[in-house]
Amino acid sequence: MESEKNRRLIYSVLGVVCGIVVILGAMKLFLGVTCPMKFLIGLPCPGCGLSRAFELLLRGKVEQSFRMHPFLIPYLLMFVMEMFFRTKHEKYAILKNGYIVLVVVTSLIFYCWRMKHFFPKQEPMTYYENNLISKLRLLR
């Protein structure tokens, strides 16, 4: 029973990861960018740089990964907590939710700081000139 649950969980995780890879690949191929916000309005979103940071982490370039997006590891930890440590203990749920709120709030504050100090001159905080809004303006 437990191994069936674990097998389903592993297949679910693999399905989500494959889905993300396919969607990002299709967006890069057809739209030129992997970020929906950059595609629409040209501005980077709070998650910009996460996929590049993940790629760098997989290659073992931990420092470069951290520089690309310091919140990758806290987000991964959040994902691992959600997927593999499901329990009905109230104390754990409070701790987990507190952690999620802390990571999301601090990453939004970090995004504002990054926009102020690095936009638009440093990757991934760059402006995408070929965005949909500017294309629509050119049509008028």
Q: Which amino acid is at 19?
A: G
Nearer to Zn ion, 36 or 81 (CB): 36
Select the span of 24-32, 42-50, 75-83, 109-117 touching Zn ion (CB under 5 A): 42-50
Of all residues in the shown chain, the one whose CB is closest to Zn ion is 35
Residues 59-98 close enough to bind Zn ion by CB under 5 A: none
Quick check: 35 binds Zn ion (CB under 5 A)? yes
CB of 52 to Zn ion, least distance (A): 11
- 123 DSSP assignment: T
Select the span of 43-51, 65-73, 75-83, 88-96 touching Zn ion (CB under 5 A): 43-51
At residue 97, φ and ψ (nearest 5 deg) are: -65, -40
Quick check: 125 binds Zn ion (CB under 5 A)? no
Tell me the number of residues near Zn ion by CB under 5 A: 4
Q: Which of 31, 40, 45, 78 binds Zn ion (CB under 5 A)?
A: 45
Q: Which residues bind Zn ion (CB under 5 A)?
A: 35, 45, 47-48
